[in-house]
Amino acid sequence: MLRTLVIAAHPDEPEIYAGGTAALLARAGHAVKFLTLTNGDAGHHEMERAPLARRRAEEAWRAADALGVVDYSIFDVHDGLLEPTVELRLRVLAAIRAWRADLVIALHADGPGHPDNRAAGRLVEHAVAFATTRNVEAGPPPLERQPVCLVMTDYASTPFHRPDLAVDVDPVLDAKLDACLAHASQFLEYAPWQRGFLDQAPAQGDMAAGRDFVRTHWADFLLATEQTRPALTRSYGAEHAATVHHAETFQLAEYGRQADEVELRRLLPIFG
């Protein structure tokens, strides 16, 4: 059984950037955990921090149920205040070791966008460096070998994200959309308010309208593009790749265990 840990900065990011891959792995019988390094308590235009943090934790578990994710941990760090400190590096290291992760999926460590996202990517990169080092103590015992690491895109990294690996998520698209809609505070309230289309948001509970709403306004993180076709072709063959409408892409991280195409296909038994 493959053990995958998806690490992001805020609840709702694992779902939109890697939720389809998580659902496919879960349906294939593998164990997937989500971890966010802040509690998301800044992400609303009306709610205060404490009730928002509680609400976002509840939303996270509903999203996990939609995807088949077996665990969802949220660090008690304020949204907007994440820094790549040694203390947090050790907490991330402990989480990677405790999960006995074979595969770690993280955010880009460099580039523009939300400082929390970049800090989260850096924390994972630095933590993985010590995953097997016995004299760097973090609680759980060290791993026997480094995990393979992939980097997912986010809203700010799209221009420089390299799609080394692409996953056809058409079979689990509704599960991914439903996981996003579980985060109603973000997909139906805060992000639409930020981006100026709150008046178009459907009522919570209207799943058909909600799925259409996410498909329309988050298309950049749902649709397969011409840039992803070469990676889809490598994974599925040209005939299948040409039929894919929705995909998630990942860049091979420069840290962690370096896997070739054969090992990646073995580690991700969801292709073809």
Residue 245 is predicted with a pLDDT of 98
Is the per-residue pLDDT at 4 higher than 70?
A: yes
Is the per-residue pLDDT at 267 higher than 90?
A: no
Residue 262 is predicted with a pLDDT of 79
d(CA 8, CA 6) in angstroms, rounded, equals: 7
For 128-155, the pLDDT digits (tens) are 999 999 999 999 999 999 999 999 999 9
% residues pLDDT > 70 (the chain): 99
Mean pLDDT along residues 111-125: 97
Residue 272 is predicted with a pLDDT of 55
CB 110 within 8 A of CB 124: no
Q: What is this structure's pTM? A: 0.97
**For all residues of the chain together, what is the average pLDDT?**
96
For 163-199, the pLDDT digits (tens) are 999 999 999 999 999 999 999 999 999 999 999 999 9
Q: Taking the CB of residue 29, how many other CB atoms lie within 10 A of it? A: 10
CB contact set of 242 (below 8 Å; sequence gap of 6+):
229
pLDDT category of residue 18 using cuts at 50, 70 and 90: very high
CATH for 3-267 (3.90.740.10, 3.90.50.10, 3.40.50.2300, 3.40.50.10320)? 3.40.50.10320
Longest dimension (CA), the chain: 55
Residue 268 is predicted with a pLDDT of 77
Mean pLDDT along residues 67-87: 98
Amino acid at 63: A
